[in-house]
Amino acid sequence: MRKSLEKTIVSLKSLLAVAALMTACLTGLGGGCLAQPASGDGAAIGLHGKRLFLRCASCHDISDSGVSRIGPNLRGVVGRKAGSFPGYAYSPAMKATDFVWTEAILDRWLTDPNTVVPGTSMAFGGLPKPEDRAAIIAYLANPAP
């Protein structure tokens, strides 16, 4: 009799622990459990963009490490002045530009980089599908941690 009461108390306690964890998660105390949308189109597009970014990742780091590879680091590139990532040796063509990366300009860039910055050193054939470009741009704007 005593044993089963103890068991009940133990399982009640673990239930409470789970409930507390879920509450922390929902209120954002759990380290951003809900930083990414958990379901729906947003998450699907984000995932698609993340997968597509593998094509860029050979040349671009997007972590906040400050590291650039063959291409400049892309952390926070949406809204950043073109050719401005510290320490990266841009092409003369890119250095001569004077614009900020918006989603619209990125869309043209990812279609064909040379139409935006003629003479750029980014050797990339372009993404022909508009939905692929949109997914990558969504990922650039909000990369997963």
* Site size for ligand HEC (CB under 6 A): 27
The structure tokens 């614009």 sit at 99
Check binding of 49 to ligand HEC (CB under 6 A): no
Residue 93 binds to ligand HEC (criterion: CB under 6 A): yes
Q: Where does residue 37 fall: left (phi above 0), alpha (psi -120 to 50 degrees), or beta otherwise?
A: beta
Triad 44, 49, 52: Cα angle to 5°: 130
Q: How far is the CB of 81 from ligand HEC (least distance, A)?
A: 8
Q: Does 85 bind ligand HEC (CB under 6 A)?
A: yes
Closest approach of ligand HEC to the CB of residue 142, in Å = 14
Q: Which of these, 16, 50, 59, lies nearest to 132 by C-alpha position?
A: 50
E strand segments, the chain: none
Is position 138 an interface residue for ligand HEC (rule: CB under 6 A)? no
Quick one: which of 48, 59, 76, 111 contacts ligand HEC (CB under 6 A)?
59
CB of 57 to ligand HEC, least distance (A): 8
Q: Which of 45, 46, 49, 90 binds ligand HEC (CB under 6 A)?
A: 90
Those residues whose C-beta lies under 8 Å from the C-beta of residue 67, and which sit 6 or more positions away, are 61, 73
